[in-house]
Structure 1
Amino acid sequence: MIRHLVYSRWLFHHSKSVNTLVCLHGRQTRLLSTSKSSRNIMPAWVIDKYGGDDVLRFTKNASFPIITYPNEVIVQVHAAALNPIDVSMRGGYGASTLSMKRDPLNIKQSGTEFPLILGRDVSGVIMECGLDVKYFRERDEVWAAIPPWKQGSFAEFVVLSANEISHKPKSLSHIEAAAFPYVATTAWSALVNTGGLSKDNCAKKRILILGGSGGVGTFAIQMLKAWGAHVTVTCSQNAERFVRDLGADHVVDYTAGPVEEPLSVLEKFDLILDNVGGETERWALNLLKPWSGAKYVTLVTPFLQNTDSLGIADGMMQSACTMATKALKHLIKGVHYRWGFFAPSGPALDDVRDIVDAGQIRAVVEETFSFSQVPQAFEKLEKGHARGKTVVQIIEERADL
């Protein structure tokens, strides 16, 4: 199998024609060359060190992605979206943990992740499939959330595992589709995997979203409303109309004073999704229905900060102790305390696609930038107070593939 893959890759890089068909051990394999000469490089935005916006560098010589495992695909990127994690990763956030994920045996030297391509959201077209890929084929339009330990989407091509991708909603353009995957899989992981919610048990449940006007919040509002939940949201006054248009039933302005005061007079909640963190833990769990299985799920955790500052082993131990202590403290009061994390999932995006194509969730794109404007897109994101996603268009929609 390994020799077969190596030979297939050799043919891919040395084929002189497009869509060459070869026979290997009695099986036909469809190989694709992106140009008349072998393709080893591609345009991309990279960073060579951690830092501010000035570390972003455009290059036409980024390494072309290679299928290493038989369940991988190469996707030509049509659109990519920015998320706060891109800004954090540019500054080195999570570097220790992500380096361990990239190199579990610690074989490589420090800094081998560079040049690093950022970008967690992608919508594009499959250009090549590994030998074990069964549910996708070349030219399929797909979307995906790229794990932070992999090279990202601010490039012409990206390689992904088949279980990380999903067929793109037919009702969305690539620009619209790129606004979804990372926030959708993050919200899905927090609400479904950690919070235990689903379309079958969500009806009439009372959900509170702290920080509801950001990417995860705007997606969570729409998904929960599609499932029949009652959704209360905290946001600034100028975002109230925005979140109400997305379906929020009740909105509390956090700029009008201590937000816990107006929330405390409301009927208690079945689940709280916290996108804010900080002092919210001090009072938010008191808003849950006690002894009813109610859960508080926060996406603002110290896990990566602990591993960055303390090292992998000590950081994981510190995180485990913190989590266990808080969970036990609140369990005694009759509520469940949980940490939520992003989890890449093609099957989750399959379910999201069905909701989107049913017209129950719409894309919220605030601004679109061209591929040459990636630094400006980062500047826009860093200003904060976004009302939707910032998207980078890599390839024009009308391009002929």
Structure 2
Amino acid sequence: MKAYTINRYSKEDKLQLTEVPQPVAKENEVLIQVHSASINQLDAKLKSGEFKLLMPYKFPLILGHDVAGNITSIGSKVSRFKMGDEVFARPADFRIGTFAEYIAVKENDVALKPKNISMEQAASIPLVALTVWQAFVEKAELKKGQKVFIQAGSGGVGTIAIQLAKHLGATVATTTSANNFDLVKGLGADIVIDYKTQDFEPILKDYDLVLNSQDEKTLEKSLRILKSGGKVISTSGPPDMAFANKIRLSWFMKSIIFFLSKKVRKQAKKLNIDYSFLFMQTNGKQLSEIEKLIEAEVIHPVVDKVFLFEQINEAISYVSSGHAKGKVIVKVK
């Protein structure tokens, strides 16, 4: 089958189109013919080597963390799916590879595709929606009447986060550029701040939750807009010890993470704020809950551009530019 691979960590190298063996579904897996995949910042960061100490992948490596397609083969112990089912998924770490014509995914990581959206739209959902679900439902237990600040509201995570937060009954503040005000307001944002001309810190006060996806300076400012007892959940770091223990890092890596997170943990403790790092985990059951919200039209996918398979390097460059609104899709089939 055709797949795009990398043979080393590099910011400059392009993905190479190669022929690789087609995967075979193991007893608890389904083989998916990839119709569409989405490009995530995580793909660009893995490609450049940002996570090489935390996630030591082997080469050649097929990137790609989101898939929508049809099941063409099922393992002997698969019970929830059948041949021909339209599905979507975020494959588990170290089992990624959706920039290819086929991928084998564990049954527990897969959900049926929402019936009311296209394959391209479905491919935009898994990674970002699972990230938001695990932040708001699992970690924060976001409740009606609470106030949440979502950074970068027009991005892939932000567009879904705004919609889920509003569904849960929260008041939503977000940042974006003036060009995207209508987009985020249409998704449900109550307070919209132009990050190019405005500082959010003097505007926002006594918030219950911050979903942080930006740099260290923005994280420090975010701590100060929270009420005592508030929470900040960061998808951009620094990683915390709970994360290090969860993925069973070596004592050496745990010590590095301890020192990397020491400053923010100290600041959070002083302000009586709960800081935690979120690295999304695959979960087919949660994806099925998200499927229901999409079919009920509570959540609407936001797709910026769709590229052809042979344009995948252009797609990655576009995502890396930071100008994408919502998600960028690669149509494989």
TM-score by length of 1: 0.77
C-alpha deviation, 1:381, in angstroms: 1.3
Q: Distance in 1 between matches of 2:12 and 2:21?
A: 22
Select 1:207's aligned residue among 148, 154, 175: 148
C-alpha deviation, 1:205, in angstroms: 1.3
Q: Could you tell me which residue of structure 2 aligns to residue 141 of structure 1?
A: 86
- Which runs of no fewer than 5 residues in structure 1 stay unpaired? 1-41, 103-112, 396-401
Q: Could you tell me which residue of structure 2 aligns to residue 336 of structure 1?
A: 274
- AA aligned to 1:317 is S
Q: Could you tell me which residue of structure 2 aligns to residue 298 of structure 1?
A: 234
Q: Distance in 2 between matches of 1:280 and 1:220?
A: 18
Q: Could you tell me which residue of structure 2 aligns to residue 182 of structure 1?
A: 127
Q: 1:303 to 1:203 in 2, by over 3 A?
A: closer
Q: Distance in 2 between matches of 1:338 and 1:329?
A: 13
Aligned residues of 2:149 and 2:207 also touching (Cα < 8 A) = yes
Q: Could you tell me which residue of structure 1 aligns to residue 2 of structure 2?
A: 43
Q: Distance in 2 between matches of 1:349 and 1:211?
A: 23
Q: Distance in 1 between matches of 2:198 and 2:119?
A: 40
SS at match of 1:256: coil
User: Is the aligned partner of 1:122 residue 2:83?
Assistant: no
Aligned residues of 2:91 and 2:106 also touching (Cα < 8 A) = no
Aligned residues of 1:183 and 1:216 also touching (Cα < 8 A) = yes
Q: Distance in 2 between matches of 1:131 and 1:360?
A: 36
Q: Distance in 2 between matches of 1:226 and 1:165?
A: 24
Q: Could you tell me which residue of structure 1 aligns to residue 227 of structure 2?
A: 289
User: Is the aligned partner of 1:358 residue 2:296?
Assistant: yes
* Greater RCO, CA 8 A, separation 6+: 2
Q: Percent identity?
A: 33
TM-score by length of 2: 0.92
Aligned residues of 1:190 and 1:341 also touching (Cα < 8 A) = no
CA RMSD for the aligned pairs? 2.1
Q: Distance in 1 between matches of 2:203 and 2:257?
A: 32
Q: Distance in 2 between matches of 1:273 and 1:388?
A: 16
- AA aligned to 2:53 is S
C-alpha deviation, 1:347, in angstroms: 1.0
Aligned residues of 1:96 and 1:312 also touching (Cα < 8 A) = no
Aligned residues of 1:217 and 1:275 also touching (Cα < 8 A) = no
- AA aligned to 1:300 is S
Q: Distance in 2 between matches of 1:239 and 1:320?
A: 37
Q: Distance in 1 between matches of 2:163 and 2:98?
A: 26
User: Is the aligned partner of 1:192 residue 2:137?
Assistant: yes
Select 1:252's aligned residue among 178, 187, 193: 193
Measured against aligned partners, the alpha-carbon deviations of 1:328-347 in whole angstroms (never above 9, x if no partner) come to 65245332111111111111
Aligned residues of 2:14 and 2:313 also touching (Cα < 8 A) = no
Aligned residues of 1:49 and 1:55 also touching (Cα < 8 A) = no
Q: Could you tell me which residue of structure 2 aligns to residue 66 of structure 1?
A: 24
Select 2:306's aligned residue among 368, 372, 375: 368
Equivalent pairs, count: 327
- AA aligned to 2:16 is R
Aligned residues of 1:117 and 1:154 also touching (Cα < 8 A) = yes
Greater C-alpha radius of gyration: 1
Q: Distance in 2 between matches of 1:132 and 1:249?
A: 47
Q: Distance in 2 between matches of 1:383 and 1:328?
A: 33
What pairs up with 1:367-386 in 2 under 5 angstroms?
A: 367-386=305-324
Q: Distance in 1 between matches of 2:134 and 2:161?
A: 11
Q: 1:145 to 1:367 in 2, by over 3 A?
A: same
User: Is the aligned partner of 1:93 residue 2:29?
Assistant: no
Q: Distance in 2 between matches of 1:184 and 1:320?
A: 29
C-alpha deviation, 1:74, in angstroms: 0.9
Measured against aligned partners, the alpha-carbon deviations of 1:19-48 in whole angstroms (never above 9, x if no partner) come to xxxxxxxxxxxxxxxxxxxxxxx1111112
Q: Distance in 2 between matches of 1:387 and 1:325?
A: 32
Q: Could you tell me which residue of structure 2 aligns to residue 5 of structure 1?
A: none
Q: Distance in 1 between matches of 2:317 and 2:228?
A: 43
Q: Distance in 1 between matches of 2:225 and 2:96?
A: 40
Select 1:236's aligned residue among 177, 181, 193: 177
Q: 1:378 to 1:281 in 2, by over 3 A?
A: closer
Q: Distance in 2 between matches of 1:96 and 1:206?
A: 36
C-alpha deviation, 1:277, in angstroms: 2.8
Q: Distance in 2 between matches of 1:141 and 1:222?
A: 24
